[in-house]
Chains A and B, each alone.
Chain A
Amino acid sequence: AQTVTQSQPEMSVQEAETVTLSCTYDTSENNYYLFWYKQPPSRQMILVIRQEAYKQQNATENRFSVNFQKAAKSFSLKISDSQLGDTAMYFCAFMKLKTSYDKVIFGPGTSLSVIP
Chain B
Amino acid sequence: GAVVSQHPSRVICKSGTSVKIECRSLDFQATTMFWYRQFPKKSLMLMATSNEGSKATYEQGVEKDKFLINHASLTLSTLTVTSAHPEDSSFYICSAAPFFGSSETQYFGPGTRLLVL
Contact = CB atoms under 8 A, between A and B. Distances in A.
Contact of A109 (B43, B93, B103, B111): B43
B108 A109 contact: no
Interface of A: 33, 35, 42-46, 50, 52, 89, 91, 95, 97-101, 103-109, 111
Majority SS at the chain A contact face: loop
B13 to A, nearest CB: 20
Contacts, number: 51
A104 B34 CA distance: 9
A99 B104 CA distance: 10
A103 B49 CA distance: 8
B44 A101 contact: no
6 contacts: A43-B110, A44-B110, A97-B103, A100-B103, A101-B106, A104-B46
Interface string B14-27: 00000000000000
